[in-house]
Amino acid sequence: METTRINPVQPKRGTLQRMAKAFCRSTASISQHLSGITNNDLSQRIRKMALELGGRETK
C-alpha cells in the first residue's frame, strides 16, 4: 500500500496542547498527524485547526 506524504504543518507555539484537548488526543498523536505521514479525515481536521490558529505549512 502506497501512501502519499503531504507537507507537514508547524503549529504556532503554545497551540499543541490546546489542539490535543480539542480532539481528545495526546500531544504526541497531534504531532504525528501534523507531520504529514497520515492523510485521513482526522489528520485533515487537525491540520486545518493548526493553520487557523496561526500555524504554517512547511516543506
The DSSP annotation for 17-58 comes to: HHHHHHHT--HHHHHHHHTTS--SHHHHHHHHHHHHTT-EE-
pLDDT at residue 4, rounded to an integer: 66
* pLDDT, tens digit (0-9, with 9 covering 90-100), for 29-46: 999 999 988 889 999 999
| CB of 33 closer than 8 Å to CB of 42 | yes
Cell of 37: 505521514
Average pLDDT over residues 48-54: 96
| CB of 34 closer than 8 Å to CB of 50 | yes
* pLDDT, tens digit (0-9, with 9 covering 90-100), for 11-21: 999 999 999 99
Cell of 10: 508547524
